[in-house]
Amino acid sequence: MGPEDVKKVGVIGCGIMGSGIVEVVARSGGDVVYVEVDDERVARGRGRVERSTATALERGKLSEDDRDTLLGRVSGTTDIAEVADADLVIEAATEDLGIKLEIFRRLDEITRPEVVLATNTSSLPVAELAAATKRPDKVVGMHFFNPPPIMKLLELIRAITTSEETLELARGYGERLGKTTVLSKDRAGFIVNFLLIPYLNSAVEMLEDGVATKEDIDTAVQLGLGHPMGPLTLLDLIGLDTAVHVSNVLYDEFKDPIYSAPTLLKRMVSAGYLGRKSGRGFYDYSKGEGS
């Protein structure tokens, strides 16, 4: 099977990342079915896609007819068996190894043997997910970036078991989606998060030590380094809980203190200050701060 043969895509999970992947697939002309754990989350995922495409319509990025056609390609379900006839499945569930392993075991049972199973994990070992299947050669990492409809990068992660044919399908399909692909070995953090997490952790430590205010740290990075947003605003976008999780995975693998999540970051997660998705992180989004 080649990239041009992928007509229907299954996406497991329709949260912030999953809904973005669903939109990207539908924008490219493919049919996509996403799976969530209950009807409420199915509806919530659909709502994310509808709001995102409504914004694109308002900004002139989509016509009304194109939006209607795009939404017509998207369906949601709580039954994972609905992806049994998919030509490619992309897992975008929560960053929990146990949950992902169970998903891959189930996908291996229900999909055709030739179908590639991809994971959107940002840090977990692709080889472990591949080992949960009887087709380890057909498991690959396809790491999209938030928000997927806008961010052009797609990290491809080749596990030790991933075949060249699988890698080429992932690369070709990524290009069909309009993405620029880069290739990484299967090690924690891959390319981007391996470099990003120490930077973000250092910014939190700088704030914790009182070196500068959150606003001045973000402004300095934006104007001094030319970044589109500062590190603390970026953490709020990523999700502080996600950042702590990725830090923990990196620290477990490399045992380097630069990957250890700062105390302030962990305390904020404990308090439920997760960033934009909870309404409060380093900035308070319920009051419009930082928006």
Which positions are annotated as active-site residues? 122, 143, 155, 193
What is the identity of the amino acid at 181? T
Distance CA 118, CA 141 (A): 5
Show the DSSP H helices in the chain as ranges: 16-27, 39-58, 64-72, 97-110, 126-131, 164-176, 192-208, 214-225, 231-238, 240-254, 263-270
Distance CA 88, CA 79 (A): 17
Q: Is 192 exposed, middle or buried (CB count within 10 Å of its CB: 0-12, 13-18, 19+)?
A: middle
Q: Which two tokens stand for residue 149?
A: 């409809």
Find the helix or strand (DSSP H, E) in which 177 lies.
none
Residue 84: half-sphere exposure toward Cβ, Cα within 13 Å: 6
User: Rg for the chain (alpha carbons), in Å?
Assistant: 19
Distance CA 18, CA 28 (A): 16
Question: Tokens 């692709």 belong to which residue?
Answer: 126
Distance CA 189, CA 121 (A): 9
Distance CA 20, CA 26 (A): 10
Question: Tokens 């399908």 belong to which residue?
Answer: 169
Q: Is 14 exposed, middle or buried (CB count within 10 Å of its CB: 0-12, 13-18, 19+)?
A: buried
